Structure formats: C-alpha cells, structure tokens
Amino acid sequence: MSDLQSSVATAEIDLTGTRKGGVAHVYERNVPMTTRDGVNLHADIWRPAEGKAPTLVVRTPYDKGASAIGGGPATTMPALISLINAGYAVVVQDVRGSFESDGDFTPKVNELTDGDDLMAWLAEQDWYDGTVGAFGASYLGMTQWSLALSDRPGLKAIAPTHTAANWHSDLWYSQGGALSLSVVTFWHALMYASEEQRSLGRGESTDMSALLRLGGAILDPLPLYESTPVASLPILGTGRWFDEWLAHPDFDEYWKAQDWSARINEVTVPALVTGGWYDLKVHGSVADFVRIRTHGATKEAREHSRLVIGPWDHMNVSCSYPDRYFGTLAAEDLTALHVEFFDEHLKGISPETPAPRVRIFVMGIDQWREETDWPLPDTRYTDYHLTSGGSANTRDGDGTLQLEAPGAEASDEFRYDPRDPLPTAGGALLPDTPGLIGPVDQRVIDSRPDVLCYTSPVLTEPVEVTGFIELKVFVSASTVDTDITAKLVDVFPDGRAINLCDGILRLRYRNSLSEPELMTPGHVYEVTVPMSVTSNVFLPGHRIRLDVSGSNFPHYDRNSNTGGVISSEALEDMIVADTTIHHGGTCPSRLVLPVIDR
C-alpha cells in the first residue's frame, strides 16, 4: 500500500469550539491508496493533529468532495463535522472509477476487494487506533456490507442507511420480478453523467454532447420511462452494465454472485440499520436486520444490531408531503444515533439509557415507539378476504374486505393495456418527484376501471398493522404472462386515500424468480404478491383498502404480456391482457395483514 504522497493537500482545523472535548484535526485531501491490482483510490481524511483515534469510513461513488456526499441525509458535511468532533477520524473515499479515484466503475463488482484493501491500508497509518466503523446511505450502505464481509481485524460496527444487500429483488428488480424502471433508468443517467463529467475534467474527452443529453434526462426523466424497447434507450448508450442488468431479468447466477444478503450469517459486527417506510429499499433493510439478528456470526452481531424506521423516502427525512404530514416529531437526528452507536461499539462507552433494539415510527398515530424485536413478538397474521358482487372496479365499485371467508365464488376483471398503463401515484421509488413518491392521495387514479378496490367497513376500533404485507390471490389471464399489483391504502373519513406500501408480481415468476414459467391462458393460479412492509394504525372512522391492478408505471416497467424478453420489445409488440381476480369458495383470495393488538 502506498504512503501519503507529498502532493497531498493538508490543513489543520480547530473544531474545539463546536463540541465539548473536541480536538484540533488535520484535513488531508486526495490521499492515495493503492489496491492489490495497482489502482489508486483517493480519500479525504480528517484525523487528529496528535495521537490516535477510532476511524469511521465512508466509501462513495457520488463524489467525496460534495457538500452532501450523496446517498442520503447521514452524510452531509454537518454530519461529518459532528462525528469528527465526537473524537473520530473520518475517511471518505471515492470508490473505484468515480471522481478522483482511478480505474473503471462497475457497480458493486470491486467493492469486496477494494474495501478489504482499505482496511489493510488503515492498519498501516500511525493515527489509526485499531478500530473502524462505517456509515452512509444507499450505495454507501452497500459498501459497508462489503467491509463487514472482510476478514480483516478492526471493524467493530456498521450503520447502513436506506440500503439492501440483495441488489436484484430489493433494488433493481422487485420482490416479484418486475424491473424497477424509474430508479434503474434515473440512476444510470446519473452515473453515466458522472462518468462523462469525469472524462471531460481529466481531458480524456472534449465532447460535451453526451453530458448534456444525460443532464437533460436527469432534469426531465419522463422520456427515459416512455421510450421502448428499454434495452435500446439511446441516451444511456450500450456496452455498459445497464445492458448486463437487462440481459439478466431472472435471479440467475449473475445476480446470486452479488447477493450479499445470503452471506449476512458471516457478519461478526453489529449493524445500525436505518430505513424509511417510503424508501425503495425498505423491504431489504428490514430483511437484512432480521438476518443479522437471527443468523449473525457472533453474539455481538445478533444481540446488538438495531433497527430504526421512520416515515421517510430515500432522499430525505423531512416527513412533509403534499398529501400527508407526519408531524414535527417524525424527523430523527440520525447523526446523534450514529455517535451513540459508534461510541458504544468503538469506544466502549455504554449509553446512560440502553438503546432499544427496534425503534419505529407508527403512522396513523404518528408516534415513535420502541420494540424488543422484529417481527414484533405479538404479531397476529390476519386474513382479510376479498369479495364483491363482480364489480370491484374503481373506488365506487362493490369490492369489500372482510374477516369472514365468503362462501360464494365470484370474480372481478380488469383490462391492462401496456399503451395506457396505470400511472404511479406514490410509493417507495426514485427519483423523488412530488406526486410520484411517498404518500399520495389515490383519488388521482382510483376512478380508472383498471383499478379494483376492496374496502373494509368503517372501523369502530383502531387496527394496527406493523410488518410485512402480502396478497394471496387466485388469478387467471388471457395471456401467457402479465403483472398483478397490490397496494395497501388508508382511507380517511374525508375521502383521502393514502398509500402505505405496495408490490408487484410478474406472473412468470409466480413460483420462482430464478426459473420463470409462462401461464396457460384462462387457467386459475394461486399466487402471492409481496407488498413490502409498513407500520400504520387505521384509526376509528377510517377504512382499510386494497387496490389491485396490472401496472404501476413508471415505478415498474410495463409487462408486454407476450411472454417474451420484455426489455427488448417495442410498444407496438405488446398486447392487451384481460385479468380476472377470483375470490370466495374454493378461491379464498385474501390480504394477509400483521395485526398488532395492544
């Protein structure tokens, strides 16, 4: 590993006035580290001017020099200063192929070895006290899981925020196999624009046209969503990892090699897992916590990992949306949580009051609550059965949810046309466009005939739902493949219908994400639609509603319904699907809710 080069910029900064016990630090810019294959990665470092300190690491593809390093609210400059003043050295490194670091950027591929090399490099520094923690959100959280899979000594704790270890079905594709179109196209435009900017800055290119096209797509991503075939989006180009991801829609060996969730049983250190109910990775965040809590490699990892979930989306914790306000208490000081967590596990300073294992914001009552574990120990999974008189279409239809299983069989039908997909109205996705993300009043779309609404009677008692949600439904279609979407909605007394969580199942993946099977038109199948996770109290006067349809666009790509390779099909290749939801009698379609009786 290379030593500090003489060209490294250094400056001494005195932060003693901003926190009791603070010390003078040295700031070193663009400190190089050479990887095992000879690539120089660069980091900005804040370290004590004298002596040693425990080290906190951030590894980012979003520019270590940015004022808000990227990946969420926990990595702003004020947050970094708070951690420095808490007595930590902080190392923020551009990952391979991004901004100041050399090499080629390919998402996730080099993070295991590069993270391991960084740990080895830290062990050589005279200011390093032998203990390391890591923090950051989104991609920065994923790089923490890579550090936790290293066998290097020194790592004591990680704090992954708004992230997931499984990149296939917890991010780029859904739990039900559909492509997460908006985030995939938007993120690729963002990362390819960074590549172009880097190339121009280094004098490797003088052509601004690609950067201008990509910048325009970031500001107005709608053309990215509308263009088909998805695999031929000209603005994203060809020959890079975008092509690879679309070439592997199944959860095959390509994705399994990148699925670190399957290796969480190797993790020896505790994790402070933070997420948001409207974050696109919340399913993975909670599932990863459960994995380390139950299968972590050490008692320390299992007993001291923590989970914090607020009413947030991927990019902010402001908790204020046009259609739903969660109150001033919904915001959380994530930096203070990080300081407390790292003080305990890197410095051995136990908090005056033991931190709760689980801390969640319960929507509906809009209150924070501490829990002993996840799933909540008193969870009672309850079936809410779908029933209707055959006309559940729109919010004014006759679809109902009831606790008793209906004896009579009935069905409801909707038509899904890929040329007129149901628009996305809220949910856990990117980009953070108002009306597209978070809690949104469903009255903007629920009058369409391609939405089936199943609604409970008006509640006389509160009903709390906290946990993973799923729809078990009997379905048939006129085509060999199509999609089923499901959305949990809280209907307020004033008529507002606020989405809580949702999911989608690409029916070719009804039995396995790895081995797709086409359907026989007209045949009835029992399938499970995963609907992610939430926590909400449906108050008296409210109603519980399930919305079912065949699309959620552009959150997910449109199914062509042909059974072919969807990403390679143009709009004119796609066909209409008539889908039937069967319920009652021998087809007990039901919404399974984790009910908490308190």
Residue identified by tokens 């679809």 is 399
State the Cα–Cα distance between residues 460 and 166, nearest whole angstrom.
41
State the Cα–Cα distance between residues 145 and 164, nearest whole angstrom.
9
Strands 306-313 and 358-362: parallel
**DSSP code string of 529-546:** EEEEEEEEEE-TT-EEEE
Q: In a 3-state reduction of DSSP, which class is residue 432? A: coil
Catalytic residue among 25, 162, 168, 314: 314
- Look up 279 and say whether it is catalytic: yes
State the Cα–Cα distance between residues 219 and 433, nearest whole angstrom.
10
Q: Is the dihedral of CA 263, 265, 268, 274 positive or negative?
A: positive
Name the DSSP letter for residue 250: S
Cis, peptide link before residue 377, omega less than 30° from 0 = no
Residue identified by tokens 């407390």 is 340
Number of H helices, E strands in the chain: 11, 24
Catalytic residue among 170, 279, 366, 441: 279
Task: Write out 476-489 in H/E/C secondary structure.
Answer: EECCCCCEEEEEEE
Q: Which long-range contacts (CB under 8 A, 24 or more apart) does 290-295 make?
A: 290/374, 290/375, 291/261, 291/264, 291/265, 292/264, 292/267, 293/357, 293/373, 293/374, 295/264, 295/265
> What token pair was written down for 81?
């200063």
- Look up 557 and say whether it is catalytic: no
State the Cα–Cα distance between residues 98 and 106, nearest whole angstrom.
10
> What token pair was written down for 52?
């040693």
- Give the DSSP H/E element, type plus range, for residue 45: strand 40-48
Name the DSSP letter for residue 373: S
Q: Is the dihedral of CA 477, 478, 482, 483 positive or negative?
A: negative
Residue identified by tokens 């209707």 is 388
> What token pair was written down for 458?
């008006």
Catalytic residue among 101, 138, 532, 567: 138
- Look up 94 and say whether it is catalytic: no
Annotated active-site positions, please?
138, 279, 314
